[in-house]
Structure 1
Amino acid sequence: MQVTARTHLQVRLQNTIFMVLLVVAIGLIAWLSTRYEIKADWTVNNRHTLSQASIKLLAELTGPVTITAYARKDNSLRTPIQDLVERYQRHKSDLNLHFVDPFTAPSLVREHGIRADGELIIDYQERTEHLRQVPPSEQELTSALQKLARPSQRLILFLEGHGERSASHFATHDLSKWVQALKDSGLQVQPLNFGQTREIPQITAVLVIASPRKQLLPGEVAMITDYVDNGGNLLWMLDPTVPLHGLEAIAAKFGLTQQPGLIVDPTSKLFGVDNPAIVSITTTGYGRHPITSGFEQYLTLFPQASGLVTEPPAEEEWEETVLLTTHPQVWSETGETEGTIEYNEDTDISGPLDLAFALARSKPQIADEPETELEASETDMVDDSQADSAADSETGTEADTQVVDSETEADAKDDEAETDVDTGNDVEIEAEDNTVIQEQRVIIVGDGDFISNAFLQLGGNLELGMNMMNWLAEDDSFIDIPTKTAVDLSFDFSPNAAIFLGAFFLFLLPLGLISTGIYIWLRRRKA
């Protein structure tokens, strides 16, 4: 090709136009990058993407959220906090993050009780939660937000003193892991021992009876009966071959019959379970109820379960819903469960069998009772020092006593602090929660092992346990929020992928660049 002045000018003009267009394109891309953001998460379990549990929780937060991070000016400390909060800000625009250097604001540190460098204070609708884990994780931050999202404190009492599954011990059959999950979600959990309290506090949201092993006293049964009659919510877990130990009167209110024997499930082997006493519930085994909505994708396991039958008396006006039903292949074994187990038509009970029921009815109209009756019950629950003070105030005339009582009543209404209940269990309640629940709710389960420490993390057991408690506590909006928010901490490669990436960067990419350079050089030389 002959190079002339004209062709030389054309080449220079083309190069100039190309450079101008390239600079303009780069400028446009830079401008667009300041207004739009595209991020891709290539980790195995989307480690840098907010989980569905957190996203659903953010949708429940109707007002602005302010996060104040008390962290020194150190990028290694502030950057992880900012990166984590940015994931939440993508789904909630009115979530704000502010940094405060604790070394330059000691008065704020003392005022807010800051204990750690990097501590977070989360404010939402005049409620505050501290997060002291450094650096914070999504699990911890979502848990703190969930505590703030609950409109008021929900007090969950676990009956103890009769061999029940413990809410605080760590044995495999106890419930401490589930209780910790309840606390992380914002529920307040305390034990209830009738040897240390005179009654069940009226502020109780849910009473949990977890498979008592010893006989309850008539007075204890009477208190539970009064609690149910007055509209209290109840979670009752029964174990097979264990008698009711005095709770027969409670069972009669629900028309409850516990079928004899232990349920065995020969289909458990399909899921890798060698013990036939572990019952699996899948797909069609879940009833039509908010608790089990969407559970078709879950497998839940119930070790040592018994079948239940409920026929509530008409005067109790209960509406019952079957929550869990076994496969037709199972049966309730009334004989020995060791060795080879076979179905006996004469003695065993064939499936399908019902494992759990949810009952609901309109709450008894006790909220319209005279106010003095409620005040009298509250007076019985105050501590001894308050009782002594009240006794001293009665030394005057009857008119003076009425004035003192009215002033004390007004002070009690204005007091927003938590009051200790004289139960010996350090039960705490909030004076501000005066909401009258219009529906009484009860769940009865023929197994207590499914949320025990040994089986809680299997299948969908944790989700089922949390959904049950959220429904009983009247926090229906939390039922659809998944419980697991933990993500992976590493970028995993398969052996083949690691070999391919190593060969690509060590051999293929360098050879490709060298070959491209030689090809371009040869073309230019021939031209």
Structure 2
Amino acid sequence: MKKIVQIARLELCLLFYSPIAWLLIMVLFVHMSHALIPGIAQIRHLQEFIPGFSFLTERLFTSSSSSGNISQGVFFSILGKLYLYTPLITMGIISRENSSGSIKLLFSSPVKLSHIVYGKFAAMLVFNLVIAGLMGLFFIAGSLSVDHFDYPYVLVAILASFLLLSAYSAIGIFMSSLTTYQVVAAICTFAVLAFMNYVGNFGQGLDFVRDLTHSLSMPSRAERMVGGLLSSRDVIYYIAVSGIFLGFTIAKLELGRVSRSFVYQTGRYTAVLVVGLAVAYLSSRQRVIVYYDATATKANTIVKATQEILRKMGDEPVEMTAYINGLHYTYENAAPVNRIFSIAQWEPYLRFKPNINLHWVYYYDSFDPQLYAVNPGKSLKTMFAEKAKSSDIDTAGFLSPAQIRKQIDLRGENDRVVIQLKYKGKTTFLRTFDGGNIWPKEEEVAAALKRLIVTPPKIVFSTDGYQRSVDKIGDRDYKQLFNTKLSRNSLINTGFDIDSVSLEHGQIPAGIATLVIADPKVAFSPAALAKLHQYIAEGGNLMIAGEPGKQVVLNPLLDSLGVKMLDGTLVQHSRDFSYGLVTPNLTAAAVKMAPLLKSAFMEKKTVSMPGTAALAELNSGAFDVQPLLMTNAKTSWIKKGAFVLDSAALVVEKNKGDQPGAFPAVLLLSRKVNHKQQRIIVSGDADFFSNKELGRTNMETVNGFFAVNLFSWFSNDEFPVDMVRPESKDTTLKLSKAGVKTLQISYYLMIPGTILLLGAILLIRRKRK
């Protein structure tokens, strides 16, 4: 060990007596300064006009992409360029010995060659620590600039940079041992490091080649760490790579001292490579990986609710099979060349359940009439062959329409990429969506996984009396919220089953989450009404959504609940909108029902209701009745009789029976029946969760959020799965304008000038000696 330290000290002296080291340190610092300081200045300026920035630590230090006017995080921007700083430092570390002939003295000295290599590598580690210390100055700048700075997050990014530089150094030492010319060593090191930086992009369409090149791609692993996720796999990988190239260097020097056969030399290098790769491979097995999420909000970790779902699944495997249609435009996202990204989507879940088995099935098929219309007379096979040729798709392994239809029924999935999850014989679909990232997010994945271990809540819509439909896209229908497979927020993709029933001709299913009666136009028959009364008496959940003018249809049913729809229509004074558009506010009872509504309640958010009737409690019956939405007493009133909205402004006419005041637009009813809580919602408006109102853009409303929480309440909050995370605390930049100016002077002039001065003084003193 003593010899290693002595050699390291000697190498460090030679290193810092060279102007190259000081120049590279200064260039790196200036590079990082220009990556960080403008971002701080921009945020300070924008903060004056746009309060409430979040995740400032990420935005400034580790963001992988620009956000508005904010550039990439400083550590992410520097990550892909670190390989430029190593070759000029390592180029002479051994080639200098070769060219001067001193290598022969080392061969004949009592010092082990391994000690020589370790000593030189130790010197490089100290140099890399100096660079890490230099990066620490930006850590200090962040802690002084950002309120509630996320310290561990940035420390892990510095560690990632150190590990990457150390691996680069080991490669540089080996390349330096191969030649007597320092310039050649530098060029070769540049070439190898550039190759290992970009090799991850090669051969992505071939399974074996893809896995190999990805394993050789060094910055991609550091990117995960810069993102705040530290794993034993990535740390051991960089240690293994360093060990492999140091082993190569030792082997090269020893084989240079003693003549050996080609077979022996090849075997020596192969043994080093096999041992290193074996260590890297074993450490990458999912069951042995240890993770640490350095972010304050645990952004790289699935939420507790999802973790609990995976824990309840126990040791039984989950089969994940992605079905990828070569004739659909979503194929590009799931093509073999994007397999690494596809697998990465599942790593957060594999972390907690390693036996999620991933499979990919490629096929070609189509149920889209438009495809046949634009390709008249062509078979599916011909159409696929033409697309494969134009898009350079390898058709080997693609299943034909007949083959895939025997394997699975994908009708109704719009021909796009779809994932089937299978667990203990139960299956469910996990869909993809249009947008920047087609893959399902954690909310959809958690819902699909949970559906495999619980009975999914079923929302059943009554179809009698020309009620609203969950299968139509009309303005007043409900497909967008409930039954749109291409929408992430549709309840069918967040855990619910959707069904319908005719009260006249069918029976209300048992065990459903709720029955929905939405704007019936005609009175229920005695038979249908009897079924409803029996359903209510047995404790079934119910949602009743009416409309003004339909009181005579619904009040016979509401009477049994102890509430009623009052005669007339609720109207509201408005400068910009029709008086018929009422915007009631959330109540404290709404927050008690669904705590997620608290922020909307505190911010006095509204729900838009284009035509609603007021509700009232008739008597204190068996139900506990609470209003969820209340109108504003100062601006709203009940308008009796017929009126016209598009002529003169409406006024309160008490002589005609108008009633000013605050009225409930939605009521919650609950009671204990058969040892469970019965849950009923009554709304005076059936439009607030319609397709049209959910798409309203001329007013800020919480219609969709309110409606989703209503149906979550019906499911006993089983779905959607709670995705609440801790909020970001690093939301404020503490620096004033003068503080930013000071930071600019310090990091653009003073610190680089100090580095330059220290280097100059040391070099001058060395020259005098």
1:264 equivalenced with 2:563 (yes/no):
no
Three-state SS of the structure 1 residue aligned to 2:694 is: coil
Cα distance in structure 2, aligned partners of 1:443 and 1:193: 20
1:439 equivalenced with 2:677 (yes/no):
yes
1:450 equivalenced with 2:688 (yes/no):
yes
Three-state SS of the structure 2 residue aligned to 1:252 is: helix
Percent identity, aligned pairs only, is 18
C-alpha change, 1:444 and 1:60, in structure 2 (3 Å) is farther
1:94 equivalenced with 2:356 (yes/no):
no
CA RMSD of aligned residues (A): 4.8
- Write the mapping of 1:324-473 to structure 2, written as runs, cut at 5 A: 324-334=629-639, 336=643, 337-338=645-646, 339-346=648-655, 347-364=657-674, 438-457=676-695, 459-473=701-715
Amino acid at match of 2:462: L
Cα distance in structure 2, aligned partners of 1:460 and 1:306: 19
- Partners of 1:172 and 1:452 within 8 A in 2: yes
C-alpha change, 1:66 and 1:324, in structure 2 (3 Å) is same
C-alpha change, 1:342 and 1:33, in structure 2 (3 Å) is farther
After superposition, the C-alpha distances for 1:437-487 in whole angstroms (9 at most, x for unaligned) are 7232211111111100011256322222222223224x333367369xxxx
For 2:340, the equivalent position in structure 1 comes to 79
After superposition, the C-alpha distances for 1:262-298 in whole angstroms (9 at most, x for unaligned) are 32334x66xxx63343333446x34156433231322
After superposition, the C-alpha distances for 1:402-451 in whole angstroms (9 at most, x for unaligned) are xxxxxxxxxxxxxxxxxxxxxxxxxxxxxxxxxxx723221111111110
- Partners of 1:164 and 1:212 within 8 A in 2: yes
For 2:243, the equivalent position in structure 1 comes to none
- Write the mapping of 1:87-486 to structure 2, written as runs, cut at 5 A: 87-89=348-350, 93-94=352-353, 96-100=355-359, 113=408, 120-124=419-423, 126-131=425-430, 133=432, 136-138=439-441, 140-148=444-452, 151-180=454-483, 181-195=490-504, 197-245=505-553, 247-266=554-573, 274-282=577-585, 285-287=587-589, 290-298=592-600, 299-303=605-609, 304-312=611-619, 314=621, 317-334=622-639, 336=643, 337-338=645-646, 339-346=648-655, 347-364=657-674, 438-457=676-695, 459-473=701-715, 475-478=716-719, 481=722
Match of 1:68 among 317, 320, 333: 320
Amino acid at match of 1:468: L
Cα distance in structure 1, aligned partners of 2:126 and 2:534: 79
Structure with bigger RCO (C-alpha 8 Å, 6+ apart) = 1
Cα distance in structure 2, aligned partners of 1:10 and 1:121: 57
Amino acid at match of 1:190: D
- Over alpha carbons, which structure has the higher Rg? 2
For 1:396, the equivalent position in structure 2 comes to none
Cα distance in structure 1, aligned partners of 2:513 and 2:623: 19
TM-score by length of 1: 0.62
Cα distance in structure 2, aligned partners of 1:248 and 1:209: 13
- Partners of 1:153 and 1:187 within 8 A in 2: yes
Cα distance in structure 2, aligned partners of 1:117 and 1:228: 41
Amino acid at match of 2:679: R
Cα drift, residue 348 of structure 1: 2.4
Higher strand share: 1
- Partners of 2:475 and 2:690 within 8 A in 1: yes
- Partners of 2:590 and 2:597 within 8 A in 1: no
- Partners of 2:563 and 2:615 within 8 A in 1: yes
Cα drift, residue 236 of structure 1: 0.3
TM-score by length of 2: 0.45
C-alpha change, 1:19 and 1:352, in structure 2 (3 Å) is same
Cα distance in structure 2, aligned partners of 1:114 and 1:480: 27
Any stretches of 5+ residues in structure 1 without a counterpart? Answer: 1-8, 365-436, 484-503
Three-state SS of the structure 1 residue aligned to 2:632 is: coil
Cα distance in structure 2, aligned partners of 1:49 and 1:305: 45
Any stretches of 5+ residues in structure 2 without a counterpart? Answer: 1-6, 15-118, 130-158, 164-231, 237-288, 325-333, 362-395, 484-489, 725-743
Amino acid at match of 1:301: V
Higher helix share: 2
Three-state SS of the structure 2 residue aligned to 1:447 is: coil
Of residues 55-64 and 303-312 in structure 1, the stretch that sits farther from structure 2 once superposed is 55-64
Amino acid at match of 1:66: V
C-alpha change, 1:289 and 1:60, in structure 2 (3 Å) is farther
C-alpha change, 1:167 and 1:74, in structure 2 (3 Å) is closer
Cα distance in structure 1, aligned partners of 2:357 and 2:444: 18
Cα distance in structure 1, aligned partners of 2:470 and 2:516: 10
Cα drift, residue 143 of structure 1: 4.6
Amino acid at match of 1:462: G
For 1:33, the equivalent position in structure 2 comes to 235
Amino acid at match of 2:345: L
For 2:125, the equivalent position in structure 1 comes to 23
For 2:261, the equivalent position in structure 1 comes to none
- Partners of 2:465 and 2:523 within 8 A in 1: yes
Three-state SS of the structure 2 residue aligned to 1:164 is: coil
After superposition, the C-alpha distances for 1:95-132 in whole angstroms (9 at most, x for unaligned) are 544344658899x9899639799764424465322446
Cα distance in structure 2, aligned partners of 1:479 and 1:192: 24
Three-state SS of the structure 2 residue aligned to 1:465 is: helix
- Partners of 2:637 and 2:660 within 8 A in 1: yes
Cα drift, residue 309 of structure 1: 0.6
Three-state SS of the structure 2 residue aligned to 1:253 is: helix
